[in-house]
Amino acid sequence: MNNVLAVAKNEFSILARSPVVLVFCVIVFVFALASAAGDSTLISSNNFSQGYNLVAGVGYFFWNLSILFAFLTMCIGILSVADERQNGSFRVLLTKPLYRRDVITGKFIGIGAFLLLTITFTLTLLVSLLMVVYVGQVSITDLVLRMVSFVILLFLNSCFTLGLVMCLGLLFSKSEAIIISIAFIAFEWLTNIGSLPGALGSLQLINPNYLYAYIICFTQEQLFDTSSSSFGSWFNSMLPYIVLMVAEAIIIVLVSCMLFNREEA
């Protein structure tokens, strides 16, 4: 366990100093500022109904935030696995008294901690700025519960994307992993979130991105709709699907560990 935490700590510090990651984070933070400014303009011009509130305001931007973090996660995953595998950094790690699974698990935990911190900071910034122009009434407790849920859901979705990119980085070269990762994200996020054929019915929920969107807004119980559903009713309805999201993230990490264990066996 100490070895895993050491790898995680090292990965976190590397990401905190990476110019590419820092530029991406700045873009995300600027987007939060721009979103709040745009919201302020719309509210002042009376383009929203009186039922509009802060939670709904965040909901208008969840899609764009999700896309940005999908690309940020891809960027981090490529740098952490495919790039290090290509330049030989992995071999340096493996000369130390570490199990191969410790390397993947530690990297995943370190990157996950960095993503969770970034997601939390970004959403806190967005909500704080929106509160300045906030119209309507909402319980602070309800607001906190919904925003924490959003952070967790976006984090889980990012974890699956990270696990997938790590798998691709172990299976393919750096350039191939980048192309496949971009194609996956573009197909899922920039075309149609329900990319699997509709004939699959409820089996579409095996699609992680569809599952993520389904939990937030594809049902009558919507996370950002305070007028028609309470947080409790939304949570009770979506808990099984949230558990499925967690399971998918764990499975993709285990697959990455298995692939790395068998590499060069």
Which stretch of 137-141, 193-197, 242-246 has the lowest confidence by average pLDDT?
A: 193-197
Q: What is the pTM of this model?
A: 0.85
- With a pLDDT cut of 70, the percent of the chain lying above it is 76
3-state secondary structure labels for all residues of the chain: CHHHHHHHHHHHHHHHHCHHHHHHHHHHHHHHHHHHHHHHHHHHCCCCCCCCCHHHHHHCCHHHHHHHHHHHHHHHHHHHHHHHHHHCHHHHHHCCCCCHHHHHHHHHHHHHHHHHHHHHHHHHHHHHHHHHCCCCCCCHHHHHHHHHHHHHHHHHHHHHHHHHHHHHHHHCCHHHHHHHHHHHHHHHHHHCCCCCCHHHHHHHHHCHHHHHHHHHHCCCCCCCCCCCCCHHHHHHHHHHHHHHHHHHHHHHHHHHHHHHHHCCC
Can you tell me the mean pLDDT for 110-122?
A: 91
pLDDT in the model for residue 103: 80
Which stretch of 18-22, 47-51, 156-160, 257-261 has the lowest confidence by average pLDDT?
A: 47-51
Average pLDDT, the chain: 78
Q: Which residue type sits at 193? A: I
Q: How does pLDDT run across 6-15, given as a tens digit for each residue?
A: 888 888 888 8
pLDDT in the model for residue 83: 66
pLDDT in the model for residue 169: 82
pLDDT in the model for residue 133: 64
Structure-block tokens of residue 51: 């039922």
Q: How does pLDDT run across 169-221, given as a tens digit for each residue?
A: 888 887 888 888 888 887 777 665 555 555 556 667 778 888 898 898 877 78
pLDDT in the model for residue 52: 56
In whole angstroms, how far apart are CA 259 and each of 12, 24, 100, 247, 255?
23, 29, 10, 18, 6
- Predicted confidence (pLDDT) at residue 2 exceeds the cutoff of 80: no
pLDDT in the model for residue 7: 80
In the block, tokens 């909500």 appear at: 127
d(CA 224, CA 54): 9
For the chain, the farthest-separated pair of C-alpha atoms sits apart, in whole angstroms, at 64
- With a pLDDT cut of 90, the percent of the chain lying above it is 17
pLDDT in the model for residue 182: 85
**Residue 260 near residue 99, CB atoms below 8 Å:** no
- Predicted confidence (pLDDT) at residue 153 exceeds the cutoff of 90: yes
- Predicted confidence (pLDDT) at residue 250 exceeds the cutoff of 70: yes
If one compares 212 and 46, the residue with the highest pLDDT of the two is 212
Query: Sign of dihedral through CA atoms 200, 183, 111, 120?
Result: negative
Contacts of 71 (CB under 8 A, 6+ apart): 24, 185
Domain ranges of the chain: 2-262
- Predicted confidence (pLDDT) at residue 87 exceeds the cutoff of 60: yes
User: Within 10 A of 33 (CB to CB), how many other CB atoms are there?
Assistant: 12
pLDDT band, residue 51 (cuts 50/70/90): very low
Q: Determine the straight-line distance between the first and last CA of the chain, rounded to whole angstroms.
A: 23
pLDDT in the model for residue 137: 57
**Residue 54 near residue 39, CB atoms below 8 Å:** no
pLDDT in the model for residue 50: 45
- Predicted confidence (pLDDT) at residue 243 exceeds the cutoff of 90: yes
Contacts of 129 (CB under 8 A, 6+ apart): 32, 33, 36, 37
- Predicted confidence (pLDDT) at residue 94 exceeds the cutoff of 60: no
- Predicted confidence (pLDDT) at residue 227 exceeds the cutoff of 80: no
